[in-house]
Each structure stands twice: as structure tokens, then as C-alpha cells.
């Protein structure tokens, strides 16, 4: 299909050599002598790109640009001018020009501009596909090696990069190849995590940075610098979601560290976030601070003492800073927090919890409308970006960008899209989470799960004498035999957490600095 070009220039007859060159390249070019003529042509036909001379008698190029954008906002328009004045360029850029060329222009320059703005998506897609095909074997070879914890983080970063890079391609085959490799990586990662997790906990093997140690190792040193530190915890925030919103955040900040840490299991707020704030494993919290621990079978919020646990953690490490704790559950509170930024600057540490993404994942399970909006991973990430763009959190970040502060963005756990049911049976006291189960008389296939019969080895509270923990791997989820088909239909394709997968376990810990 030929590329169609509309070119408006009061000296269009002098541009015949350029037009012939473009036609030899397979383009169809309509040349007009004024902005008014260009608008008349656009009423009759829609070209792929428009070239506008900036200095035309009558309706100028800038005025024509404004009228074009009012009617056809997505149409690429390239301004061509003799002027190099900054004001002219600013007017053109303010009018949402697609490109800006200074006369004299040569035919190759015009041709490259046409390709840039009409074939950019296709060229980028083809380039991404070709590059991934070259990296496919490299990643595949890494997956066959015995990697350590840090090497798994690097592999996961590569997979997230390619997930986002290939999201814009329309090649179904390359998507299938990537998803197959990602599934293989997740299976391998689950085996790695299971083989090393207990050794990390009991100290027989050097462990990576994990939920109970991440604040001590990565945030506590910042508190000694003497300037305010803001710890922003976005519940259920995956690394790929961070990479999606990173360009927006970097408009205001310089990224100093783009780290990942390992969460404990179960990868839920009750366990992972309490462990992060307390600097202790769950059973250690229960033993040391019983007043701050609520078991699954007890009444009350399971993470209502986060502030107290963090204060105790700071106290144990000899850090005496004035602290504020803010949990944002709605936009109204978030807007009030924006107004309080000057007040928060008097604290050494300000903790801000945002639960939107966790609420989104739950709403996607329960709401058909939200399921349609977040139909897949790409859409789920897109919703995250849309939320941040219009949220009070971005207003807080903007306000902080003008102040001398440390900013950390992190989470307690991620989530995974589930697609394969694993049958389990148990008594009425069995835990309800889809990704892990604890309870008496559990009946399951041990080959299908990560099984730990003694909760003490996991540093988890023991509910009964015979209460093992079992965890789903990758995209698996537990389903009961009763109403099995309906249960599976309802939950398949939803985002859940609690088990073992790269998306749940390998989560972002980002340090931002002022530009």
C-alpha cells in the first residue's frame, strides 16, 4: 500500500524534484500552494502525513497546523521553515508538531522523515522481534545453568524488558515464543526458590536481600544522612509495573538504584509486609511482639500494626527518627496528604502506603468491567500507568521533586496471572487464599506443590500440630473438588498472590534522587 503525502508550500512548483523522488519511492504526493487548499484536501481525503511550509501567504503554517490538529489530532504534521528562531520552533512544538525541518531540505531527508512517522511502529516492531530472536538463545542457555539469587534477578530483569519491548509488536508467533520461554523460566525459578529457601532462612546458605532485611540494608543507612526519607510502599506492585511507570517518574527524578529483592512466602500482605516492617520473620514477630500479630483464624486486620512494628525495628537498630505513617485508601486522603508535604518535611522518615493496585487486582476478580479493562498483562500494566498519571501520588512526587529528600518506591509482594487449577481438599479451617493453603487434613498431590510440613522451618506460626503449608507454583491455583468447574471458570485469568513465582517474589526496590 502506497504512502500518501499532502505537501503545502506556496512554492510547490519548485519542489517538483522532491515530489518525483518520493513518487519513485512509491509514495502518492498531493501538492498544494496554501494552508486553505491543504484543509480543503483533508476534507476529501486523509493522507498518511502532511508537510507544511511555515511561511505561506494567507493562512500561515502555524495557523494551518492548529486547524489540522483540531480536526485530525492524530495526523502526523511536519513543519518546514527557513526560520531558525526559537519562538517559531516553540509555536510549532506547542501545536503538537510531529517533526521540524529547516530549509533547504533534500529529498533523502524528506524520505527518512516520511518513513520515521509512517512506518515507525512497524520498524520498531520488526527491530524488537529480530533483537529478541537473537537474545532468545542467550536467555535459554542461562536457564540451563545453575544460577544464584543475583543471577536470577538479572534474568528476570531481561524477561521484563522483553515483555515490555514485545508488547507493541503484532507478531503472534514471537509472542508465543516469548511466553513459552517465560513459562519455562518461571518453572525453573520455582525449583530454585524451593531448593534454597529453607537454607536461606536457617542460615546454612548465604541469602539474598529479603523481606525482613531489605529496610535494614537499603533504607536504614539513608536515615543517617539527616534529610527526610519517604518510603512509598505500593501494595502488590510488580517489577514490570514499575518499568511501565518509570519514564513518568523520571520526568521529575533521577533513578539512583533500580533494585529487586526477594519476598518471603506466603507472598501476602499479612506475612510479607509485616516481615518487611518488623525486620523479622512472622513466627519471630508472634513470639517477640504477640500484641502486634494477628493469626489467620483470628478476628481483626492482619496488618494493622505496621507502624508499631517499624518503630520497634528502628528502635532495635538504634535509629531515633521522627516518623509519620500514612495509609492511603482513597483519593480524598491522598489529596490531603499532598497538602501536608511541607509538614512531613520535619520528619526523618515518612511512610506512605498505597493500596490501589491491590484493590485493582481484587476488583478484577470480582468485576466483569474491570476484567475487560485488565484483560491481560499489557492492559494490567497500562491501568497502573493511567492510575499513577491521575493519582495524588504523582502530585506528592512532584512536590517532593522540588525538595532535598530521599525517596524509595517499593512493595511487599507482586501477583501472578493464574491459569492452571490444582486440586486440594481440607477441613473447614483450611486457609482461603488461592495460592497457598494451611490447615489440618490437607489432601493434595505433593508433586504439584511446594510443600513444607513443619511451619517452624518457614518461620511461620503453627496453627495446629499437623498444619503443613503448601504453595502453588508459577500460574497454578488451588481449586476445591466441590463446584470445581464453576470455581475454575471464575478465577482463571485473575491476578493472585500468596505462592511462588517470579512476579510475586522478585519485587522492586527503587531509590530516587533529585535531578
pLDDT of res. 264: 98
* Terminal C-alpha separation, the chain: 46
Is 510 domain-assigned? no
Task: Please give the average per-residue pLDDT across 220-249, as a whole number.
Answer: 95
pLDDT in tens, 157-171: 999 999 998 887 777
Round the average pLDDT of the chain to a whole number and report it. 89
Is 512 domain-assigned? no
The answer to pTM > 0.85 is no
Is 132 domain-assigned? yes
Is 207 domain-assigned? no
Would the pLDDT of 297 be above 70?
no
Q: Indicate whether 445 and 337 sit together in one domain.
A: no
Domain that holds residue 178: 122-202
Is 194 domain-assigned? yes
pLDDT in tens, 388-408: 999 999 999 999 999 999 999
pLDDT in tens, 307-326: 999 999 999 999 999 999 99
pLDDT of res. 284: 96
pLDDT of res. 457: 92
Residue 115 pLDDT class (50, 70, 90 cuts): confident
Q: Indicate whether 435 and 304 sit together in one domain.
A: no
Q: Which three cell numbers stand for residue 447?
A: 508433586
Would the pLDDT of 484 be above 70?
yes
* Strands of the 27-32 sheet, one edge to the other: 27-32, 3-8, 49-53, 77-81, 99-102
Q: What percent of the chain has pLDDT over 70?
A: 93
Q: What phi, psi does 305 have (nearest 5°)?
A: -115, 30
Give the distance from CA 45 to its chain's centroid.
Answer: 40
pLDDT of res. 285: 96
Q: Indicate whether 266 and 320 sit together in one domain.
A: yes
Is 225 domain-assigned? yes
Residue 86 three-state SS: helix
Would the pLDDT of 352 be above 90?
yes
Torsion, CA 343, CA 347, CA 349, CA 354, rounded to 10: -20
Q: Indicate whether 260 and 319 sit together in one domain.
A: yes
pLDDT in tens, 445-458: 999 999 998 889 99
Q: Indicate whether 23 and 85 sit together in one domain.
A: yes
- Nearest to residue 263, comparing CAs of 272, 271, 274? 272
Find cell 543517617 and name the residue: 224
Residue 153 pLDDT class (50, 70, 90 cuts): very high
Task: Please give the average per-residue pLDDT across 371-397, as a whole number.
Answer: 87
Residue 300 pLDDT class (50, 70, 90 cuts): low
pLDDT of res. 171: 77
Q: Indicate whether 247 and 372 sit together in one domain.
A: yes
- Nearest to residue 477, comparing CAs of 394, 402, 390, 417? 417
pLDDT in tens, 90-113: 655 555 777 878 888 888 989 988
Is 515 domain-assigned? no
CB burial of residue 100 (10 Å; 0-12, 13-18, 19+): middle
Domain final position from 175, 202, 229:
202
Domain final position from 156, 174, 202:
202
Q: Which three cell numbers stand for residue 141?
A: 542457555
96 vs 378: CA distance, rounded Å: 27
DSSP 9-62: -TTGGGGHHHHHHHHHTTEEEEEESSHHHHHHHHHH---SEEEEESS-SSS-HH
Would the pLDDT of 228 be above 90?
yes
Domain final position from 162, 179, 202:
202
- The radius of gyration of the chain from alpha carbons, rounded to an integer in Å, stands at 28
- What are the start-end ranges of the H helices in 203-354? 214-218, 220-223, 239-249, 274-278, 282-288, 306-316, 331-339, 341-344
Q: Which three cell numbers stand for residue 19?
A: 515530489
Q: Indicate whether 372 and 276 sit together in one domain.
A: yes
Task: Please give the average per-residue pLDDT across 177-192, as a whole number.
Answer: 95
Q: Indicate whether 225 and 342 sit together in one domain.
A: yes
Q: Indicate whether 421 and 411 sit together in one domain.
A: no
Contact 232, 408 (CB under 8 A): yes
pLDDT in tens, 61-96: 888 988 998 888 888 899 888 766 555 556 555 557
Based on the structure, what is the number of domains in the chain? 4
pLDDT of res. 462: 77
Task: Please give the average per-residue pLDDT across 2-6, as a whole number.
Answer: 90
CB burial of residue 119 (10 Å; 0-12, 13-18, 19+): middle
Q: Indicate whether 304 and 261 sit together in one domain.
A: yes
Top-confidence residue, 44 or 118: 44
Beta strands in 47-150 (DSSP E): 49-53, 77-81, 99-102
Residue 419 three-state SS: coil
Task: Please give the average per-residue pLDDT across 437-447, as a whole number.
Answer: 89
pLDDT of res. 366: 64
Q: Indicate whether 423 and 411 sit together in one domain.
A: no
Q: Can you say whether the dihedral through the CA atoms of 392, 397, 401, 403 is positive or negative?
A: positive
**How many Cβ atoms sit within 10 Å of the Cβ of residue 231?**
22
233 vs 198: CA distance, rounded Å: 27
239 vs 258: CA distance, rounded Å: 10
Q: Indicate whether 12 and 91 sit together in one domain.
A: yes
Q: Measuring CA to CA, how many Å separate 320 from each of 217, 233, 310?
A: 17, 21, 12
Q: Could you tell me whether strands 349-354 and 420-423 are parallel, antiparallel, or unpaired per DSSP bridges?
A: unpaired
11 vs 13: CA distance, rounded Å: 5
Q: Measuring CA to CA, how many Å separate 307 from each of 50, 147, 304, 314, 349?
A: 58, 37, 8, 11, 12
pLDDT of res. 182: 95
Longest dimension (CA), the chain: 91
208 vs 368: CA distance, rounded Å: 39
Amino acid at each position: 500500500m502506497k504512502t500518501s503525502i499532502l505537501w503545502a508550500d506556496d512554492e510547490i512548483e519548485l519542489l517538483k524534484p522532491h515530489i518525483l523522488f518520493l513518487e519513485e519511492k512509491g509514495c502518492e504526493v498531493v501538492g498544494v500552494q496554501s494552508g486553505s487548499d491543504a484543509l480543503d484536501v483533508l476534507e476529501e481525503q486523509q493522507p498518511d502525513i502532511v508537510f507544511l511550509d511555515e511561511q505561506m501567504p494567507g493562512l500561515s503554517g502555524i495557523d494551518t497546523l492548529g486547524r489540522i490538529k483540531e480536526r485530525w489530532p492524530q495526523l502526523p504534521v511536519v513543519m518546514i521553515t527557513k526560520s531558525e528562531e526559537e519562538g517559531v520552533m516553540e509555536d510549532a512544538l506547542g501545536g503538537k508538531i510531529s517533526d521540524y525541518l529547516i530549509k533547504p531540505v533534500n529529498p533523502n531527508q524528506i524520505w527518512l522523515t516520511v518513513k520515521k512517522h509512517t512506518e515507525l511502529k512497524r520498524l520498531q516492531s520488526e527491530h524488537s522481534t529480530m533483537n529478541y530472536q537473537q537474545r532468545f538463545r542467550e536467555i535459554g542457555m542461562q536457564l540451563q545453568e545453575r544460577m544464584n539469587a543475583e543471577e536470577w534477578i538479572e534474568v528476570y530483569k531481561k524477561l521484563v524488558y522483553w515483555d515490555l519491548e514485545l508488547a507493541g509488536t503484532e507478531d503472534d508467533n514471537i509472542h508465543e515464543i516469548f511466553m513459552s520461554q517465560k513459562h519455562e523460566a518461571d518453572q525453573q525459578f520455582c525449583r530454585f526458590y524451593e531448593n534454597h529457601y529453607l537454607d536461606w532462612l536457617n542460615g546454612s546458605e548465604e541469602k539474598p536481600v529479603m523481606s525482613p532485611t531489605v529496610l535494614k540494608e537499603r533504607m536504614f543507612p539513608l536515615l543517617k544522612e539527616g534529610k527526610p526519607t519517604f518510603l512509598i510502599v505500593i501494595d502488590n506492585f510488580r517489577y514490570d509495573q514499575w518499568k511501565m511507570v518509570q519514564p513518568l517518574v523520571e520526568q521529575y527524578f533521577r533513578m539512583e538504584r533500580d533494585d529487586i529483592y526477594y519476598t518471603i512466602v506466603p507472598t501476602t500482605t499479612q506475612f510479607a509486609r509485616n516481615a518487611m516492617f518488623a525486620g523479622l520473620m512472622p513466627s519471630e514477630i508472634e513470639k517477640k511482639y504477640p500484641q502486634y500479630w494477628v493469626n489467620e483464624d483470628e478476628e481483626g486486620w492482619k496488618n494493622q500494626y505496621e507502624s508499631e512494628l517499624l518503630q520497634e525495628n528502628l528502635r532495635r537498630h538504634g535509629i531515633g527518627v521522627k516518623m509519620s505513617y500514612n495509609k492511603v485508601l482513597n483519593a480524598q486522603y491522598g489529596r490531603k496528604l499532598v497538602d501536608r508535604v511541607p509538614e512531613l518535611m520535619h520528619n526523618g522518615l515518612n511512610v506512605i502506603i498505597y493500596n490501589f493496585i491491590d484493590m485493582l487486582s481484587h476488583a478484577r476478580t470480582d468485576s466483569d468491567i474491570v476484567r475487560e479493562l485488565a484483560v491481560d498483562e499489557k492492559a494490567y500494566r497500562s491501568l497502573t500507568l493511567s492510575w499513577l498519571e491521575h493519582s495524588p501520588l504523582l502530585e506528592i512526587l512532584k512536590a517532593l521533586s522540588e525538595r532535598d529528600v530521599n525517596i524509595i518506591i517499593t512493595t511487599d509482594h507482586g501477583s501472578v496471572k493464574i491459569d492452571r487449577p490444582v486440586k486440594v481438599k481440607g477441613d473447614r479451617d483450611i486457609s482461603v487464599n488461592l495460592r497457598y493453603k494451611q490447615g489440618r487434613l490437607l489432601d493434595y498431590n505433593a508433586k504439584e506443590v511446594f510443600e513444607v510440613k513443619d511451619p517452624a522451618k518457614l518461620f511461620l506460626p503453627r496453627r495446629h500440630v499437623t498444619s503443613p503449608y503448601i504453595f502453588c507454583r508459577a500460574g497454578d491455583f488451588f481449586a476445591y473438588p466441590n463446584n470445581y468447574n464453576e470455581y475454575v471458570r471464575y478465577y482463571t485469568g485473575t491476578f493472585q498472590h500468596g505462592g511462588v513465582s517470579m512476579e510475586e517474589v522478585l519485587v522492586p526496590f527503587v531509590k530516587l534522587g533529585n535531578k
